[in-house]
Structure 1
Amino acid sequence: MNPNILTTGMRCTLSDGSLVEVRSVLPDHVHVRVRYLDTLDNPEIRNGEEREVPFEELIAEYMGTHAEGLT
């Protein structure tokens, strides 16, 4: 996803299937700070945990029952 269209609070899916909420786009415009909402039972990540991920990991905006790709 293009980091220029990401907004705080936007919910997105990651390439591993996790559901996250965008917290901020970092000044380098390469990484995004996200909060995990659903990790699909990944034992390495807790729900609610915040991490910095490359924007390429965000594959789609989550829109309820479906996801809309914005690549």
Structure 2
Amino acid sequence: MAAVPGTSGGLTLAAAYDWSHEASGLFAIGVGRVMIGSAAATGLAAFLSSALHKRGAKAGRPGH
């Protein structure tokens, strides 16, 4: 779960920097969507990875 803020923050900063020159100002909406989407996707991936790792450890699989 520690990767979630770093990944989301990095993608958000990159999008904000790249899109900030857009004249209409609507880049802020896109940056917000990148922030929410990347945080949700990274959080889900971290949760599933952790759950699968714990499930494998409980099953007594070698290497866990």
- Short-chain TM bin: under 0.3
Give the number of the structure whose alpha-carbon radius of gyration is greater: 2
Give the alignment's TM-score, normalised by structure 2.
0.21
* TM-score computed with the length of structure 1 as normaliser: 0.20
Higher relative strand content: 1
